[in-house]
């Protein structure tokens, strides 16, 4: 397949990888502030994107980490380090790495 088509279809070196992340908080109030901080300080600060949702004490998202050449493990380690540093995070779980465009996200819930 030509490079132009691989890029358009997100194959080969243009594959985008991600992981499911479930965060459980130890309080129900302040979810909006937590979500804003999570997106700005953990996700966007590391050049990632996420999609999903939650409410009160649980957040379930898929984090898009980027291409294989972007050092995916380092990005995810920074995100989980941010979660570990939060006093309002009780626990978090991550799923296996998968192809965002063509893979299957195995639900870890």
CB atoms within 10 A of CB 51: 10
* 5 within a domain of the structure (yes/no): no
Domain range enclosing 93 = 16-97
What domain count does the chain have? 1
Q: What is the pLDDT of residue 103?
A: 84
Between residues 69 and 29, the one the model is more confident about: 29
Considering the domain boundaries, does residue 68 fall inside one?
yes
Mean pLDDT score, 49-57: 91
In a domain, 76, yes or no: yes
Is 109 contained in some domain?
Answer: no
| CATH number of the domain residue 80 falls in | 3.30.70.260
Q: Is residue 10 part of a domain?
A: no
Q: pLDDT tens for residues 25-35?
A: 999 999 999 99
The beta-strand segments (E) located in the chain are 17-25, 49-55, 58-66, 89-94, 98-99
Pairing of strands 58-66, 17-25: antiparallel
User: If we measure between CA atoms, which residue out of 103, 75, 98 comes closest to residue 20?
Assistant: 98
Tokens of 76: 């995810």
Report if residue 8 sits inside a domain: no
In the chain, % of residues over pLDDT 90 = 77
Indicate if the pLDDT at residue 45 is higher than 80. yes
With a threshold of 0.75, does the pTM exceed it? yes
């Amino acid at each position: 397949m030509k490079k132009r088509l691989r890029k358009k279809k997100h194959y080969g070196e243009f594959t985008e990888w991600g992981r499911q992340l479930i965060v459980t908080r130890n309080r129900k109030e302040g979810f909006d502030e937590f979500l804003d901080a999570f997106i700005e300080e953990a996700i966007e600060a590391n050049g990632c994107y996420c999609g999903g949702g939650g409410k009160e004490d649980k957040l379930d998202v898929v984090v898009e980490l980027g291409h294989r050449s972007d050092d995916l493990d380092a990005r995810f380690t920074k995100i989980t380090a941010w979660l570990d540093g939060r006093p309002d995070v009780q626990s978090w779980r991550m799923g296996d790495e998968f192809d965002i465009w063509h893979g299957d996200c195995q639900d870890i819930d």
